[in-house]
Amino acid sequence: MRKMPFIAAAVSTALACLLIMSAAHSQEAPPPSDQTRRIEDLVNRAAALVDQRGRAAFDEFRKRDSEWWSGNTYLFAYDDHLNVLLNPAFPKREGTNPHGEKDAHGKMFHDALLKTAQTKGAGWVDYWFPKPGQTQPSHKWSYVKAFKAGELTGAIGAGFFPE
């Protein structure tokens, strides 16, 4: 009979954890912080530069240890067909089309990033993705913004790994 309270407590704890995890992953944006404001500012400035200079801006974004790529924070960009235009941390992805690719939890995050930029103009998306130099996925939040440079339209973004 002593096992019943333990089992009930274990089940209650597991359910509470699932609810908390579900609520955290249903957020539309990470909690406001210096880091989220920094990412939004970075992406807004990058989108303005792409609007002004087009693809030529990508050369600046590929420079490591710059205002555009520092530590685990780097810019990435898709065209409006989801072709990868920029990904300096994973350069082999450039020129590919990740439509339909899913993260470790089954989310088609590339599609979600582009859709957010196309439908809202800008916004946050969370998903699971490896940190640069790693293979295991970690929780990541990315902010994306639509851009238009002549005939080139798409989305540019950057993200961070909450720890």
Distance CA 110, CA 76 (A): 11
Distance CA 87, CA 96 (A): 11
Q: Which fold is adopted by the domain 30-160?
A: Beta-Lactamase (3.30.450)
Question: Model's pTM, two decimal places?
Answer: 0.81
The answer to whether 147 and 52 are in contact (CB under 8 A) is no
Distance CA 20, CA 16 (A): 6
Please tell me the predicted confidence (pLDDT) of residue 130: 87
The owner of tokens 């540019």 is: 156
Q: Quick check: helix, strand or coil at residue 71?
A: coil
Q: How confident is the model at residue 19 (pLDDT cuts 50, 70, 90)?
A: very low
Q: How confident is the model at residue 25 (pLDDT cuts 50, 70, 90)?
A: very low
Average pLDDT estimate for 140-151: 95
Q: Quick check: helix, strand or coil at residue 63?
A: coil
Domain boundaries, the chain: 30-160
